[in-house]
Structure 1
């Protein structure tokens, strides 16, 4: 027995991304605990949360709307990554890895959303 979102690769990858971003946020300076660290955690958690919420008892049009929220939250994660590299909390190599993960996930979510009519 499982919820249908548990089988979605986009949900699984968004869960993985959330754990990666949580670890990253822990490495930020203590003064960022209520700012960038918190924002990064909330944005990345929102990606998976909206995928799962939209999948339950929703029409395809409503599900597409929730996937749009997830995609926008992912854009917020990317902006947090840019903030982190500008503040020198993140190396260029780690930025590029996380950026690619976000970009790949975004493309997967858009492709999935486009399949819903």
Structure 2
């Protein structure tokens, strides 16, 4: 199996974001195990999973589709972090938001690069 996705900074950074989400949600109330905590974890895991899946596919359009799914998961995660903050489950979200922005920027850069290749 080729695992080229592991060399991508965006994949590596998104794995780091998943780790931070898991750490942050450990302190959530047990009543949130299948609620907000679980949803945040699923959205976070979806990002590197979809990036990895991209590299098992052929064709630029297919790549862009999975990167779009990853971007959607990042937007969902952003909303869930905000909800967790407003509900008092997370006090300081600055570091999580910074990581989210870094992953989002790199993902958008990869998408733009692939779109240029598609248009060429």
Q: Say whether the fold is shared (TM-score over 0.5).
A: yes
Paired position in structure 2 for 1:47: 47
Deviations along 1:32-65, one digit per CA (max 9) or x if unpaired, are 0010010000000000000000111321111011
TM-score, scaled to structure 1: 0.93
1:8-47 alignment runs, 5 A limit: 8-47=8-47
Moved over 2 A (4+): none
Total equivalences in the alignment: 115
Question: For 1:66-92, what per-residue CA distance to the aligned partner results, in whole angstroms no more than 9, with x for missing partners?
Answer: 00100110111111100111111111x
Q: Tell me the equivalent position of 1:62.
A: 62
The corresponding residue for 2:4 is: 4
Structure 1 segments unaligned to the other structure (5+ residues)? none
Unaligned runs of 5+ in 2: none
Counterparts of 1:32 and 1:71, CA distance in 2: 24
Give SS of 1:34's match.
coil
RMSD: 1.2
